[in-house]
Amino acid sequence: MTEAEFIAALRGLPLHPGAHGLADDAAHLGDLIFTKDMIVEGVHYLPGDPPGDVAWKLLAANLSDLAAKGAVPVGALLGYALGHDDFDRAFLAGLGEACAALDCPLLGGDTVRTSGPRTLSLTAIGRSAAAPLRGGARAGDALWVTGSIGDAGAGLAIARGREGPAALLAAYRRPQPLLAEGRALAAHVSAMMDVSDGLLIDAARMADASGCAVSIDLAAVPLSAALTAFAGDTRASRLAACTAGDDYQLLFALAGDRAPPVAATRIGGFAGGRGLSIHGAGAPLPLPASLGWLHD
Ligand SMILES: Nc1ncnc2c1ncn2[C@@H]1O[C@H](COP(=O)(O)OP(=O)(O)OP(=O)(O)O)[C@@H](O)[C@H]1O
Ligand SMILES: Cc1ncc(C[n+]2csc(CCOP(=O)(O)O)c2C)c(N)n1
Ligand SMILES: [Mg+2]
Ligand SMILES: [Mg+2]
Ligand SMILES: [Mg+2]
């Protein structure tokens, strides 16, 4: 079974109304927001990555989903698999640092031991008075994204041994959840989500959840100077950036010609119909074979 097939099958189980049909980044129970993300050695991080960075990434990936709902973190529940003492101790130190820096204290969790690949999980709880959904975009809305796209994908190549700048490696190992930006945006957007699996696949998910079509101008996608110096600026490098994932930027829909209250780039728009299309210099472009990361 693929990830998408499994989640589709879960939709046939008894679902709480706050799950929004498992078509949002998080569950909404009153003003409380619940989200969970897991990370697995060899899948989400490399065995040689520093344990403190693994802890950071586990918390940050979850808080990114809270950011997309405009939430303030309340606390986190940790699911931890013990392995080697050195890793476990360094993870603990890194988690303490991450909880303090990101203002998210522990509520509890569970601990097991495994001899297999390390699998870690975290459930983050937040509070948001007016959480936007992933599925609220309407035909005529513009599509916007914060920051730059593709840095973490390049950082993974650097973590695997390519020469490259520390800033790209840091984007991969220490993503920054955009909590303040999410809170500033929440009351203005018609839809919001974070970019975890890749800009193209996540934009397609926002359009699907909203019952709209979305189109993206590939040339408008913001790339950092560090990335273009590292990977060039070609159609292929732009497509690689837009499908790499691990960006943890905020993707949002905004009505008409409104300007967002935080720094962001307009990259496309929503229309009637269904599906994702991309274009460059006014001409339609073929979609790449893979739109982003999928656990298939
Ligand atoms: N095993 C599961 N059990 C219950 N719900 C699930 C499960 N896996 C995914 N979901 C739900 O499916 C929806 C989509 O999940 P998904 O993991 O794609 O969201 P995300 O956390 O925003 O993305 P990412 O995992 O890339 O960070 C969410 O509502 C999530 O709670
Ligand atoms: C070693 C290594 N190989 C590949 C990747 C890329 N990657 C893995 S999972 C994922 C999407 C988010 O995960 P999920 O959807 O499970 O929350 C991405 C972009 C990585 N981070 N580390
Ligand atoms: Mg998300
Ligand atoms: Mg997830
Ligand atoms: Mg997530």
Residues of the chain above pLDDT 70, percent: 100
Q: What is the pLDDT of residues 85-112, one digit of tens each?
A: 899 999 999 999 999 999 999 999 999 9
Same domain flag for 187 and 117: no
- The CA distance from 271 to 141, in Å, is 8
Is residue 198 situated within a structural domain?
Answer: yes
- Helices and strands (H and E) in the chain: how many: 9, 12
Tell me the three state secondary structure of residue 176: coil
Q: Is the CB of 45 under 6 A from ligand 2?
A: yes
Is residue 292 situated within a structural domain?
Answer: no
Residue nearest to atom 11 of ligand 2 (CA): 197
CA 17 from centroid of its chain's CA atoms: 23
Same domain flag for 150 and 114: no
Same domain flag for 265 and 236: yes
Determine the distance separating the centroid of ligand 2 and the alpha carbon of 138, expressed in angstroms. Answer: 30
What is the per-residue pLDDT for 281?
85
Domain hosting residue 69, numbered range: 3-127
Interface predicted TM-score of the whole assembly (ipTM), two decimals:
0.97
Q: Is the CB of 4 under 6 A from ligand 2?
A: no
Is residue 135 situated within a structural domain?
Answer: no
Question: Looking at 62, 97, 127, which one is the last position of a domain?
Answer: 127
User: Is residue 34 within 8 Å of 74, Cβ to Cβ?
Assistant: no
Q: Is the CB of 293 under 6 A from ligand 2?
A: yes
Give CA separation, 181 vs 91, 194, 261, in Å: 28, 12, 9
Same domain flag for 185 and 240: yes
- How many domains are there within the chain? 2
Is residue 291 situated within a structural domain?
Answer: no
Same domain flag for 113 and 157: no
Same domain flag for 161 and 273: yes
